[in-house]
Amino acid sequence: MEMEKLVSLCKRRGFMFQSSEIYGGINGFWDYGPLGVELKRNIKDAWWRDMVTGHDDLAQLPGAPAAYEMTGLDCTIIMHPQVWKCSGHYDLFHDYMVDCRESKKRYRHDQIQGRWVEAKDKKIFATAGSDSESPEADIERQALKFFGMRSKNADELKWDGPLVSLTTVDDFEQVLGPDAKSLGTLTPPREFNLMFKTTIGALGGEADTAFLRPETAQGIFVNFKNVVDSSRVRVPFGIAQVGKSFRNEITPRNFTFRSREFEQMEIEFFCHPDSSQEWYRYWRERRFQWYKDMGLDEGKLILREHDPEELAHYSIGTADIEYAFPFLPEGEYGELEGIAHRGDFDLRSHMEGKLDPSTNPMTVELNEEGKPKHRGSGKDLSYRDDITGERFVPHVVEPSAGADRATLAFLCEAFTEDEAPDDKGNMQTRTVMKLHPRIAPIKAAIFPLVKKDGMPEMAQDIYRSLKKDWNVFYDEKGAVGRRYRRQDEAGTPFCITIDGESMQDQTVTIRHRDTLEQWRVKADDLSGELRKLIG
């Protein structure tokens, strides 16, 4: 699939728009249009239904070590600044950046790739940026241009070693930046904080500085005791939350894949330390299966366990559910969801103070005076089992999904071009969004075949009846074939047509978007039929 076609369809049909587009847009921010907002809402609702409200607290689900409870929260975007100091974000949530004095562009230090190359008695480190789809080819073109050579003389370039990160290079005077013509234009790496700052109160001094949350998880941790005390849940249990997060991404790219404002669907699952590994394995499999159930091709999904050097400072183990997005090179995958075994890092940090990840077992990080570098709340966030009497700090397993990335993955998976007959029976190329009925923005479209003979009145009655349960659409304009095509592009799984026969026997025709199969049902049975089809 060509990504440009999907992006074009998303704008044309109202799935997504560039934020502030009439002013030239703002990079890393996207608005969801009339169809997009319904799609994303349906994805979040399906996740919440499957993980929280539809969860059976009484039964032991397949693969689960025990029965467990689920509940939810909705925490504020702005929290006490100390939250981010104890969580580690204040100290660790940054990237090292380099700026190019010539091109005026900024790059992540670790995402610039390059190779040492020699020609005309000079050796340089030629590079390509993170947005390069063919870094080796781009590096060769850049080297040829720098040395004033033509493509036919590419064999004269002497390459020294494979493609490596800029982080392996100490002398930037020999580095040719990704978009530069001269050597030595890149600045030394410097820290760039990924959290958005804001101000609380009218004075706006340093003491009033706060941050837009970079993740929803911390709101759950600081409310752990409130949930236990108010809802009588018992470990093991999970707390779910859907909400906005903000990260000051340096190079937002690939449509909505990497944005500065995004929405997360997160669960913090609290369990006994002795069973935490079992729960980690359970949530890995449970969440992987969910994407398959919602329509993603298993052949485009992988479950990848992180290597030790990849693990976050708090993580005992992490696995990513990844999808083969079409904007990535063949054989590469992009993260959809991370399932992290966070141990007791978060609850202990908010009790005692920020833990030092270099210690094992972890102890509170101290400042030059031997006091906690970032002081915790002092509140007891341990848990006491009312049956055994045991007191412990629960371990946490965190399935953290991106609602925007999930939306993008479902759009990529759904985009299809096939052939279908037009009104005259001639085969024509058809663009169709094969979205799972549960998440499709519009569940059904109702068409009167013609605007006379009582058909519009019957169609409108059906529309109003179905509208009570689902988002349905009424359309009486144009040939019925063109109406079908418009709904195919919108991802509507079922079209219902009222024709002359409907006026005689009160039956209607249902058309299936993917198979193009058509069948008749009684109008009175339509609601039940759709309920079975949508699932």
13 is in an annotated binding site: no
Among the candidates 362, 392, 410, a domain finishes at: 410
Number of domains in the chain: 3
Q: Which of 150, 175, 192 is the last residue of a domain?
A: 192
Question: Does 249 belong to an annotated binding site?
Answer: yes
38 labelled as ligand-binding?
no
Q: What is the DSSP string of 265-278?
A: EEEEEEE-GGGHHH
**Binding residue per annotation — 260?**
yes
| Per-residue pLDDT tens listing for the chain (535 residues) | 789 999 999 999 999 999 999 999 999 999 999 999 999 999 999 999 999 999 999 999 999 999 999 999 999 999 999 999 999 888 877 778 899 999 988 888 888 999 999 999 999 999 998 777 788 999 999 999 999 999 888 999 999 999 999 999 988 999 999 999 999 999 998 877 789 999 998 777 777 889 999 999 999 999 999 999 999 899 999 999 999 999 988 778 889 999 999 999 999 999 999 999 999 999 999 999 999 999 999 999 999 998 887 777 667 889 999 999 999 988 999 999 999 999 999 999 999 999 988 888 889 999 888 888 999 999 999 999 999 999 999 999 999 999 999 999 999 999 999 887 766 677 788 899 999 999 999 999 999 999 999 999 999 999 999 999 999 999 999 999 999 999 999 999 999 999 999 999 999 999 999 999 999 999 999 999 999 999 8
Q: Give a yes or no: residue 424 inside a domain.
A: no
Q: What are the helix and strand counts (H, E) for the chain?
A: 14, 27
How many other CB atoms are there within 10 angstroms of residue 264's CB atom? Answer: 21
Partner residues linked to 388 by β-bridges: none
- Give the per-residue pLDDT at 506: 94
Is 301 part of any known ligand binding site? Answer: no
Q: Do 185 and 235 fall within a single domain?
A: no
Asked if 386 contacts 412 with a C-beta cutoff of 8 angstroms, the reply is no
Contacts of 256 (CB under 8 A, 6+ apart): 16, 30, 262, 404, 405, 407, 408
> What's the pLDDT score for residue 119?
92
Considering the domain architecture, whether residues 345 and 376 belong to the same structural domain is answered as: yes
User: What CATH number does residue 491 fall under?
Assistant: 3.40.50.800
Select from 192, 215, 247 the last residue of a domain.
Answer: 192
- Would the annotation count 385 as a binding residue? no
The answer to whether 69 is annotated as binding is: no
Is 264 annotated as contributing to ligand binding? yes
User: Is 248 labeled as ligand-binding?
Assistant: yes
Domain that holds residue 239: 3-72+225-410
Shared domain for 64 and 102, answered yes or no, is no
399 labeled binding residue = yes
- Tell me, what's the pLDDT at 351? 95
Find out whether 262 is annotated in a ligand binding site: yes
N- to C-terminal Cα separation, the chain:
28
Structure confidence at residue 313 (pLDDT)? 64
Can you say whether the dihedral through the CA atoms of 167, 170, 172, 174 is positive or negative?
negative
Annotated ligand binding at 336? The verdict is: yes
User: Is residue 400 annotated as involved in ligand binding?
Assistant: yes
Strand duo 334-343 + 317-323: pairing: antiparallel
Is 503 annotated in a binding site? The answer is: no
Cα–Cα distance, 355 to 221 (Å, whole number): 15
Whether 125 is covered by a domain: the verdict is yes
118 assigned ligand-binding residue: no
Cα–Cα dist 36/433, whole Å: 12
User: Is 192 labelled as part of a ligand binding site?
Assistant: no
153 and 54 co-located in one domain: no
Domain presence at residue 208: no
**According to the annotation, is 517 in a ligand binding site?**
no
**215 annotated among ligand-binding-site residues:** yes
78, part of any domain: no
Residue 258 marked ligand-binding = yes
pTM above 0.75, yes or no: yes
- Joined together, the tokens standing for residue 196 give 């958005």
Is the peptide bond preceding residue 236 cis, with omega within 30 degrees of 0?
yes
Judge whether 337 lies within some domain.
yes
DSSP label of 450 = S
SS3 515: coil
Distance CA 135, CA 127 (A): 8
Query: SS3 for 128?
Result: strand
Q: Give the Å distances, CA to CA, from 229 to 20, 234, 378, 383, 443.
A: 44, 10, 17, 10, 41
Residue 173 is assigned to a ligand binding site:
no
In a domain, 289, yes or no: yes
Exposed, middle or buried by CB within 10 Å (0-12, 13-18, 19+), for 229? exposed
Residue 82: inside a domain: no
- Asked whether residue 280 falls in the same domain as residue 386, the answer is yes
Report whether 265 belongs to an annotated binding site: yes
Read off the tokens for 305.
């366990």
Same domain, 306 and 361: yes
